[in-house]
Structure 1
Amino acid sequence: MTIPTLTTARLVLRPPVYADFEAYAALWASPRSAYMGGPHERTRAWGWFCHDIALWHLFGHGALMIELKSNGECVGQVGINDGPLFQEKELGWLLYAGHEGQGYATEAAGALRDWAFKDRKLPTLVSYCDAANVRSIAVAQKLGAVLDPDAPRQDPEDLVFRHRH
């Protein structure tokens, strides 16, 4: 499976490489990961990092790193999660500290969502949001996702936003 590279007006969404792991592990070790079940130790972050890449080979979709076109800086990740850890195919995003509030998550997630609907022919995606994560909820809403109170979820406290083609 060839992992795609997607581009938007400001971003390059590219396959993860080993050099991306340090910033990724730092995010998982920080309080910023609390909305995603963290903080987690480095070995757990490595498991998630490998999971994000393996999804491409197992399901034909997975995670892409978010890189700024202007300077090549990696500012986060967007992905389609799948497998036994997720109730449904999940469109998720994360940004590294200092890169919030600039529309990067919305731009990246919108591009990956559109790719999933067009190229992978997925009929729907969900985004699981911690009820206290107002920024993530805002991204889901900006993308046009609607709250689906009947959607299955592993964490009963999560809000589930549904994206439809």
Structure 2
Amino acid sequence: MIAPGPTLETARLILRPPAAEDLDGWAELMADAEAARFIGGQMSRSQAWRMMATMAGSWALNGFGMFSLIEKDTGQWVGRIGPWRPEGWPGTEVGWSLHPRAHGKGYAVEAATATMDWAVDHLGWTRLVHCIDPANVASIKVAERIGSRFLEVGRLPEPFQETPVHLWGQTATDWKARRSI
């Protein structure tokens, strides 16, 4: 079973809503202390399942949510990326987190580009943000590579209200202008 929603493709990746078969990858990502550091912290497999179910539920309730990233060559789950806006969130976010085996391959930029396009073209979002912990240098670099800039200090809703977060982002107009270059 796959959550309802579209499938996008890039040169190297398939982006689709979460499926039950993704649990092993989600659980590995969330069990890795360093990989999970900026996305809610290390979690057990059962907690990772609830997180994955939350993303799947977002697709059913909102018509959008984070996509599962699948490597075309291997069929492996390598991360999650995409539009995200739970109740109380500080903006219309395109967020990302990749499994450690996918780090350093340019997948985050490749998939963020596809999901930014989708959020602007299909969801009609006029402002796109990325909620980034100021210590998360890797995510800041991804944001910069896709043309986003620091906008302001933000605040996440409970239970993450004490987590430091900087909002990076751009307007849809800026994104479209960058795409046409």
The alignment's TM-score, normalised by the length of structure 2, stands at 0.83
For 2:39, the equivalent position in structure 1 comes to 36
Matched with 1:26 is 28
Report if the CA contact (8 A) 1:63-1:79 is conserved: yes
Query: 1:79-106: per-residue Cα shift (whole Å, max 9, x none)?
Result: 2111225222221111111211111011
Where 1:12 maps in the other structure, the secondary structure is: strand
1:121 aligns with 2:128: no
Structure 1 ranges of 4+ moved more than 3 A = 150-156
Deviation at 1:156, TM superposition (A): 5.8
For residues 105-150 of structure 1, the C-alpha deviation after alignment (integer angstroms, 9 at most, x for no partner) is: 1111110111110011111121111111111110111111111115
Gapped regions of structure 2 (runs ≥ 5): 173-181
1:159 corresponds to which residue? 166
CA RMSD of superposed structures (Å): 1.8
The aligned counterpart of 1:93 is 96
Match of 1:82 in 2: 85
Please identify, of 54-63 and 66-75, the stretch whose mean Cα deviation from structure 2 is larger. Answer: 66-75
Residues 87, 6 of structure 1: alpha-carbon distance in 2 compared, 3 angstrom cutoff: same
Alpha-carbon distance between aligned partners in 1 of 2:79 and 2:140, rounded to the nearest angstrom: 17
Matched residue, 1:11: 13
**Count, aligned residues:** 165
1:58: how far off? 1.4
> 2-side partners of 1:96 and 1:85: how far apart?
27
Instruction: Structure 1: state its 5+ residue gaps.
Output: none
Amino acid across the alignment from 2:112: A
Deviation at 1:26, TM superposition (A): 1.9
Percent identical across equivalent pairs?
Answer: 34
Q: Offset of 1:160 from its aligned partner?
A: 1.0
Aligned pair in 2 of structure 1 residues 20, 85: CA closer, same or farther (>3 Å)?
farther
Deviation of 1:37 after TM superposition, in Å, equals 2.4
TM-score normalized by the length of structure 1: 0.91
